[in-house]
Amino acid sequence: MKLRVFKFGGASVRDAEGIRNITKIVRNALQQGTRLACVVSATGKTTNALEHILKTWLKAPEAGLRALQELAAHHVQIARDLLKDPAPAIREIESIQERIAQGLAHPSGVLFDALYDQVVSEGERMATALVSAYWQSEALPHSLLDARQLIRTNPTWREGEVLWEPTREALRASGARLWEQNPGQVLLTQGFIGGGPHGESVTLGREGSDYSAALIAAGLEAEDVVIWKDVAGVYNADPKVHPGAVLFSRLSYDDALELACYGATIIHPKTIFPLKSSGIPLLVKSFQYPEAPGTRIDNNRTLALVPALIQKPRQALLQIRTKNGEFLNENHLATIFQCARQSRLKVNALHHTALEINLCVEDDLHHIDEFLKALAMDFSITTRRKLELITLIHPSPTLTENVLGSRKPLLEQSNHRVMRFVAEAVN
Ligand code: ASP
Ligand code: MG
């Protein structure tokens, strides 16, 4: 029996209609005799909402709990719209809400990132509770499994490092158990979450459900993975911003990885390695037009990569010099990168001269502050925020001048194939 892994992102399960739609896609695959494992993300913008709830709660607990109440009410409404008998699902949503509130009332001194993982990971659990309740009401055979039992990680909060052997073992054992019971049932689980050494929630990095799907596919030796999105596949630019964007029908793993690393919101960069190393193809398809072919990503070389444009928002530029005016030597650079690694700074581009190194990083205040403090003694750093990182692959003159417009690049980096600019964000 052909095993496929389907990943449904937040946009595909944002409301009752969305959950009904993905159920049609699943039923259709089952009718074709496919065995399925389904990975589901939190609904819509729930993860952003949970991040906001956590940050609000830390400043003003009452306001944080009100925001949590609103999020729970939103999910209760989806249950009411979706289910003839919503009571059990509502109870489940309310117990998750209670668990989040308990997590927030944490003993002082718990690491922010550890608390983040206990709170923000609950979004995926709310989503799978709704999907499972609907599949139960529709007699769609499935087992809802806890992703923390399937994907094992070390406790690197917010960026769990997957322990591959225990993960593969857990996936194989769970898959065998589940399909022994009922060969036609669907394995349903959460994306974005792994289980730490004591079974605690460890998240895999924002947009990490793609990575979850790839790991599950590799562990279960699936035929392929389908990532169901609100666009028709992978384009050479954001089709919501550039109407003339071209859809790729085929991409190699490396091309897809390059686009994802430069910030194309097609798949999480970590998705590629598990699939490339097991030769499992990845399809990016539209959940609105599931019959359309989408983009197939495998180890066939892309014929000729048409010019591609990727714009990565929410960037900051750190201009670093030595305090005493000395030129930047290897020790300085080693210290800078050591501190970047320790503060978990995400460096997306860099430019280095004798007296200065410029780092373009994710504009995540929490990590930038840690980095600035660590270097304050020996380095002076100018920080510019609200920037974007623009990457052009096989740049064409028209694409370049249009995308920059009158903006002067703050950092440029190019070779014969790729040009990269950091500039003020346009909106
Ligand atoms: N819900 C998580 C996020 O928004 C994971 C995902 O969507 O892949 O980052
Ligand atoms: Mg999400």
Task: Say what the pLDDT of residue 302 is.
Answer: 62
User: Does 132 contact ligand 1 (Cβ within 6 A)?
Assistant: no
pTM for the full model?
A: 0.90
Instruction: Write out the residue limits of the CATH 3.30.2130.10 domain(s) in the chain.
Output: 308-424
Q: What is the pLDDT of residues 81-137, one digit of tens each?
A: 999 999 999 999 999 999 999 988 875 567 889 999 999 999 999 999 999 999 999
Task: Say what the pLDDT of residue 146 is.
Answer: 98
Q: What is the pLDDT along the chain (427 residues), one digit of tens a residue?
A: 789 999 999 999 999 999 999 999 999 999 999 999 999 999 999 999 999 999 999 999 999 999 999 999 999 999 999 999 999 999 999 999 999 999 888 755 678 899 999 999 999 999 999 999 999 999 999 999 999 999 999 999 999 999 999 999 999 999 999 999 999 999 999 999 999 999 999 999 999 999 999 999 999 999 999 999 999 999 988 888 888 888 999 999 998 998 888 888 888 889 999 999 999 999 999 999 999 999 999 998 765 666 889 999 999 999 999 999 999 999 999 999 999 999 989 999 999 999 999 999 999 878 899 999 999 999 999 999 999 999 999 887 777 778 888 899 999 998 888 999 999 998 7
Q: Which atom of ligand 1 is nearest to the CA of 208?
A: 8
**Residue of 181, 426, 145 whose CA lies nearest to 311:** 426
CA gap 231, 341 in Å, rounded: 34
CA gap 131, 129 in Å, rounded: 6
What is the distance in A from the centroid of ligand 2 to the CA of 192? 8
Instruction: Write out the residue limits of the CATH 3.40.1160.10 domain(s) in the chain.
Output: 3-229
Query: In the CATH scheme, what is the code of domain 3-229?
Result: 3.40.1160.10
What is the distance in A from the centroid of ligand 1 to the CA of 420? 27
User: Does 21 contact ligand 1 (Cβ within 6 A)?
Assistant: no
**How many CA within 13 A on the CB side of residue 14?**
10
What is the distance in A from the centroid of ligand 1 to the CA of 47? 6
CA gap 55, 110 in Å, rounded: 14
User: Does 10 contact ligand 1 (Cβ within 6 A)?
Assistant: yes
Q: Which atom of ligand 1 is nearest to the CA of 211?
A: 8
Contact 152, 166 (CB under 8 A): yes
Query: In the CATH scheme, what is the code of domain 308-424?
Result: 3.30.2130.10
SS3 147: helix
User: Does 191 contact ligand 1 (Cβ within 6 A)?
Assistant: yes
What is the distance in A from the centroid of ligand 2 to the CA of 121? 10
* Atom 8 (ligand 1) nearest CA: 207
User: Does 207 contact ligand 1 (Cβ within 6 A)?
Assistant: yes
